[in-house]
Structure formats: structure tokens, C-alpha cells
Amino acid sequence: MKHRELVAIIDFGAQYNQLIARRVRESGVYCEVFHHDTPWTEIVARRPQAIILTGGPASVYAPGAPRVDPAVFEAGIPVLGICYGMQLMAYMLGGVVGEGRHGEYGGAVLELVGSSPLLEGFAPAQRVWMSHGDLVEKPPPGFDVLARTANTPVAVMADATRGLYGVQFHPEVAHTPGGRKLLANFLLGIAGCRGDWTVSSFIEDSVTEIAARVGDGRAVAALSGGVDSAVAATLVARAIGERLTCIFVRHGLLREGEDAEVVRTFQGRQGMRLVVVDAEERFLRALKGVADPERKRKIIGETFIRVFEEEASRLGQVDFLVQGTIYPDVIESGHQGASLIKTHHNVGGLPECFGLVLIEPLRELFKDEVRRVGAELGLPPALLERHPFPGPGLAVRILGPITRKRLAVLRAADRIVTEEVKGAGWYGHLWQAFAVLLPVRSVGVMGDRRSYGQVVAVRAVQSEDAMTADWARLPHELLERISARLVNEVREVTRVVYDITPKPPATIEWE
Ligand code: XMP
């Protein structure tokens, strides 16, 4: 899609580089992340208004350490190097980078020793977050030192004439209170970005572009019940109306009331056509007796594709397939060497084998931006603010084989957890909260009788982006109510446990 202005973020592999992109967007400036191997000619052809070089785990002296094309520094485009990005800038332009000995991890006090539009609004001393092994000992010719900390003699450097800036600390993290200000100073002040990238301008541009691309053609979309597919379909419907058909495959693995909600929300919306396929029986048959999580995901993914394909072929001529891919998916799948932890089979995420041309209108958006687009398109807040839900649904929250009976138990348990979390005002503070049905049974006493029932684990986590997460410190009174309701209202449950493991080492889901 064409954007009015672009900031190119060149990624050297630090774990939190997505945060830089988010912060840039928060300043109203559109940006994209490019892997450091991307040829410079490709980046410069997009006419970026500014370049940000991110942090990364390497030392500039390590064999095979990532580099940039020296042309980056000669293009007349303002460049901000962060951490490794700054060290690389210093190294490539003739400064001295010191290796390893005096690393700094955690909070530090930044002391200004020079002035620059980059540091406008900064106090003479303020807290910043450091995380580095190497450091710049001597800036390259033409650079001034603008700030230092106790352990880092060159914490900020600049060659204002060439528009080159480097900061050793991390402006993108919350522990650097002036970080947003610094990025805004660089983007809006130094690089002259207008900061006019908004959700409304995004919708306007996308609708025009989709309408032009689809022309008289027809498109099909899969609704999963989740936010991304709902927003993507609604956006495409705004552009092409009834030439979009949405297919909702009822696989029977959603939570209580969700099937009905999808139908209610999309039936007749903006003239789009909705086809509901009842495939619960087919999915449960395919999953019968399967306990292995990866096999469950594979079966669900494959069955989904088959059912979808059959329905789509009934529609006659279709040219386009709408996908709810969002930016974190794009960045993540572009990461080289990232190991496969789980097969993230997104139900609704279909392969390109249909011969259909993909429309992925949310490819460039972060989750919070997707929600804002959805709100502006008039989707119900309950749908937009819903916690993320895995594509394979309740199948990966029932440990062991899936049966209708176990699904009913988990649905009832999950409803109680959600109701209580919402009732206590915690829902909006959590990334996810849900129930998991364990494959063990446990002894209990009910009245005067011993019982031998099922165990439910309650999982509630806080997270920025699901890459890491911590278990939520829910009040004991809330946990007590959840536990009491689970054992009283769901007859099969005799024991409730609360999961207190962070991610890593655990994952958020149990399978
Ligand atoms: P984990 O369990 O890997 O989950 O810490 C991270 C986030 O991803 C969701 N998740 C999935 N989403 N298909 C999906 O679409 C999947 O197979 C899947 N597995 C986990 C999970 O709910 C959490 O938000």
C-alpha cells in the first residue's frame, strides 16, 4: 500500500525490536521493519524519510556480525542508531568500539554534555535503560558526544551536518521515561516527518486500494471468531460489499456463545454474504482419540482447509482470498533462525494453494491498531476487546483426547472464569484468562461421599505481545470465587489449580 511517509527500521535481531516499530507508529509515523540482509537499493527505492538501526545481540567484531551497506550513511537520510545500531555506525564510520569489558545492564543516569534537537526537552540528568556489552569509546570523526552515563562515555552521539545520530540506551522501553520524546524529536523534529498516519487515513487508503485491486472480481474470507479475521473481512466488505463472501466453519471448538455471536455480527453486514458451515461432527470425528498437541493442530488445520475449499468451490468464480495476517505475524515469520515452538496453525489462515490472490489488508498493523480500525468500522467492542484465542480453539485446552463431554465441561468452566474475571474488573488488565481441562483425575469429597473427578487449571497472564508473559497476581478473593463456582456449578470438577509459571519457561497455553 502507498503511504505518505515511511520510516525504515533495519533490524539486527534484538528481542524487542518490534517495540521500536510500535513507538514510531505511536508518534503517528508509518514504519516498516526490514531484515538487515534486505538490499539497501530495495529500501531506498521506498523513499524512507528516516532510518533507524536497531539493537542486536552481536558484537561488531564477531565474525559474520551483521552490517549495513555504507550507502545508508551517505544517502542524506537521517539515521538513528540504537545500541548495536549505534556501535555499528561508530565502527563503520571510523570511531572506536570497545569490546565487552564494561557492559551495563539496567537503569543508568544519562548526563547531558552537549545540546541537540534530539535531546530537546531532556533534563540535564535523567534515567535511561541500558543493555549492552560493547560500547563506543570514541565517536567517528565529525561526531559530537552529547551525553554520557557513569559507565558509558559516549551514550549519545551526533553528526548533525550529516543527520547521523546514535544512542547507546534503549528509548523504546518503558524504563526509559524520555524514550518516546527522543523518538519524536528524531522523527518529527530532525527527519521532518509529519506524523499524520492515523487509523482513519489507513482505512481510507485501504478501501481505495482494495476496490481498485479487486475491480469486478470476487473475494472470499474465512471468519474464525477472532478479531483479525473479523476486521479484515469488514474492511474488505467496505470496499467491495456483496462481492465478498465470508465463510464461517463451525468446528465446534469455540467457547460458549461464540458461534451465535459471529453469525449475529456478520449476518447482512454491509451487504456481505455469510455462509455458515456446520462441520462440528467432521472435526470431532477427525480428532477422535488424538492426544498429541501437534497432531491436533495439524488435523484441525487440514480439516479446516478441506471444508473451506469445498465451500469456496461452490461459490463459482472467486479470485481473491482475504486473510487476517497482522504485522507481528509478518515480522515473526521473517525472522531467520527463529525456532518453531508450536505449529501456529491459524484456523482461518489458509495456504496459498487455492490459486486465489491474497488480500491481507492488516499486514502492516499491530494488534492495538487492528482493534482501533475495527472500532472505527463499527464492530462491537465485545468482539474487539476480546482476549486472543488460539486458532485450534478449545482443542489445545483439553489435554488428552477431545470428546463432546469434555468440551462441555471446559466450556462451562471457561465461562465461569471469564465471568468472574470480568466481574472483578480484571479482564482489561489481562492478556488472557482461561480454563484448561487436565488429563488427570483427583479425589475429592462431595457431601459425605468421596468423589473422583476432573481437575481444572486456571491460567491468567499479563503480557505485551505474547512473546513473554507473567502469571497474573489475581486477588485471592477472586481466585476463591472462581474455585468455588467451578466445583459447585460444574459437577465433574473436583479440584482447581492456579498456574503460576511465567513464559518462559512455560508457554501461555498448556499445549
Ligand atoms: P503460547 O502458548 O505459544 O501462546 O505462549 C502465545 C499466544 O499464541 C496463542 N496461540 C495460538 N494461536 N494458533 C493460534 O492462532 C495456535 O495454534 C496457537 N497456540 C497458541 C496463545 O493463545 C497466546 O496468545
Q: Above 60 in pLDDT, residue 1? A: no
How many whole angstroms separate alpha carbon 273 and alpha carbon 266?
Answer: 8
The full set of domain ranges for the chain reads: 7-190, 199-384, 403-498
Per-residue pLDDT, 97: 96
Collapse the DSSP code of 450 into the 3-class scheme (helix H, G, I; strand E, B; otherwise coil) and give the result: strand
Q: Above 80 in pLDDT, residue 60? A: yes
Encode pLDDT of 429-454 as tens digits: 999 999 999 999 999 887 888 889 99
Per-residue pLDDT, 344: 46
Q: Please compute the mean of the pLDDT values over residues 86-97 and round it to a whole number.
A: 97
**What are the angstrom distances between the C-alpha of 384 and each of 26, 51, 65, 367, 388?**
20, 33, 42, 10, 10
Q: Which fold has domain 7-190?
A: Rossmann fold (3.40.50)
How many whole angstroms separate alpha carbon 406 and alpha carbon 490?
Answer: 11
Per-residue pLDDT, 2: 55
Q: Above 70 in pLDDT, residue 333? A: no
Determine which residue's CA is closest to atom 4 belonging to ligand 1.
508
Per-residue pLDDT, 122: 94
Encode pLDDT of 19-53 as tens digits: 899 899 989 999 999 999 999 999 999 999 999 99
Q: Above 70 in pLDDT, residue 358? A: yes
Indicate whether residue 345 lines ligand 1 (CB < 6 A). Answer: yes
Q: Please compute the mean of the pLDDT values over residues 378-384 and round it to a whole number.
A: 92
pTM given for the model: 0.78
Out of 31, 83, 193, 246, the active site residue is: 83
Per-residue pLDDT, 337: 33
Task: Compute, in angstroms, the gap from residue 509 CA to the centroid of ligand 1.
Answer: 6
Indicate whether residue 478 lines ligand 1 (CB < 6 A). Answer: no
Q: Which residues pair with 247 in a beta bridge?
A: 222, 275
Per-residue pLDDT, 339: 33
Q: Please compute the mean of the pLDDT values over residues 280-301 and round it to a whole number.
A: 96
Q: What's the mean per-residue pLDDT of the chain?
A: 92
Indicate whether residue 367 lines ligand 1 (CB < 6 A). Answer: no
Of residues 336, 439, 459, the one with CA closest to residue 390: 459
Per-residue pLDDT, 411: 98
Task: Compute, in angstroms, the gap from residue 104 CA to the centroid of ligand 1.
Answer: 34
How many whole angstroms separate alpha carbon 137 and alpha carbon 230?
Answer: 52
Beta strand 449-462 pairing with 432-446: antiparallel
Q: Under CATH, which architecture does the 403-498 domain have? A: 2-Layer Sandwich (3.30)
Of residues 199, 201, 194, the one with CA closest to residue 29: 194
Q: Above 80 in pLDDT, residue 331? A: no
Return the amino acid letter for 334: G
Helices 367-376/227-240 angle, 10° precision:
40
Q: Please compute the mean of the pLDDT values over residues 411-436 and round it to a whole number.
A: 98
Per-residue pLDDT, 343: 41
Encode pLDDT of 472-483 as tens digits: 999 999 999 999
Q: Above 80 in pLDDT, residue 325? A: yes
Collapse the DSSP code of 241 into the 3-class scheme (helix H, G, I; strand E, B; otherwise coil) and give the result: helix
Query: Do 7-190 and 199-384 come out as alike in CATH topology?
Result: yes
Per-residue pLDDT, 269: 78
Q: Is residue 364 annotated as a catalytic residue, yes or no? A: no
Ligand 1 atom nearest residue 341's Cα: 3
Indicate whether residue 388 lines ligand 1 (CB < 6 A). Answer: yes
Q: Is residue 505 reached through a cis peptide bond, with omega within 30 degrees of 0 on the bond before it?
A: yes
Q: Above 50 in pLDDT, residue 281? A: yes
Q: Please compute the mean of the pLDDT values over residues 232-260 and round it to a whole number.
A: 95
Q: Which residues pair with 51 in a beta bridge?
A: 8, 79
Q: Above 80 in pLDDT, residue 345? A: no
Determine which residue's CA is closest to atom 22 belonging to ligand 1.
390
Q: Is residue 170 annotated as a catalytic residue, yes or no? A: yes
Q: Are 21 and 33 in contact (CB under 8 A)?
A: yes
Q: Above 50 in pLDDT, residue 340? A: no
Q: Above 70 in pLDDT, residue 353? A: no
Q: Which of 98-107, 329-338, 473-482 has the lowest mean pLDDT?
A: 329-338
Encode pLDDT of 451-461 as tens digits: 899 999 999 99
Encode pLDDT of 193-219 as tens digits: 999 888 998 999 999 999 999 999 999
Per-residue pLDDT, 455: 98
Q: Above 50 in pLDDT, residue 338? A: no
Q: Which fold has domain 199-384?
A: Rossmann fold (3.40.50)
Out of 104, 172, 311, 364, the active site residue is: 172
Q: Is residue 172 annotated as a catalytic residue, yes or no? A: yes
Q: Please compute the mean of the pLDDT values over residues 265-272 and round it to a whole number.
A: 82
Task: Compute, in angstroms, the gap from residue 343 CA to the centroid of ligand 1.
Answer: 9
